[in-house]
Amino acid sequence: MKCPYCKNPNTRVVDSRPGKIELEVRRRRECQDCSQRFTTYERVEQVPVMIIKKDSRREEYDREKVLKGIKKACEKRAISMNLIEDMVDGIERELRNTNEREISSKVVGEKIIQALKKLDDVAYVRFASVYREFTDVTDFIQELKGLLPKESPAQESDQVPENTR
């Protein structure tokens, strides 16, 4: 492994441990020339998952594209980068566990929406508005109605109609 600082090809592994995701190894390395330390990640090369787009084009699954979309939806929200990366790891794991080589972009989008819905309502609505191509305010209102808590029948009967007060 070349040193990213001085480009010397002689580096040694100082420490190895499992990475955040399965089938990943995190290695701390030290350059034998400049003594700088750096981290590398080693992953098992997997068969690429192809995403079938709406227009039937196929493109390779791109983790960075998913991460970018989720980060944009979570912008200015109190959501840590670790939580976002864990979400992307989980989505990617689910996609790979299907053992399908081709997956519809709709499946990927719905997995992202479900993960965001559990995490943050605002981020969920932001992502859904782009993914589901909301065209006007009524689309937003419909989506927001689904987020409101459902009233129980007991609560409904406790309410007095406006005209009887």
- Asked whether residue 154 is assigned to any structural domain, the reply reads no
Q: Are residues 80 and 120 in the same domain?
A: yes
Q: Are residues 58 and 135 in the same domain?
A: yes
Q: What is the pLDDT of residue 150?
A: 67
Q: Are residues 61 and 34 in the same domain?
A: no
Residue 134, SS3? coil
Which position has the token pair 């981020």? 123
Q: Are residues 67 and 117 in the same domain?
A: yes
Residue 157 CA, distance from chain mean position: 42
The CA distances from residue 46 to 101, 109, 163, in Å, are 11, 22, 66
Q: What is the pLDDT of residue 72?
A: 94
Residue 22 belongs to what domain range?
Answer: 11-43
Distance CA 91, CA 156 (A): 39
User: Rg of the chain over CA atoms, in angstroms?
Assistant: 23
Q: Is 46 left (phi over 0), alpha (psi -120 to 50) or beta?
A: beta
- Ranges of residues in the chain with a pLDDT under 50 are 155-157, 164-165
Q: Are residues 130 and 87 in the same domain?
A: yes
Q: Are 40 and 68 in contact (CB under 8 A)?
A: no
Q: Are residues 17 and 94 in the same domain?
A: no
pTM above 0.75, yes or no: no
Q: Are residues 22 and 103 in the same domain?
A: no
Q: Are residues 135 and 55 in the same domain?
A: yes
Looking at residue 44, the DSSP 8-state letter turns out to be: -
- Asked whether residue 68 is assigned to any structural domain, the reply reads yes
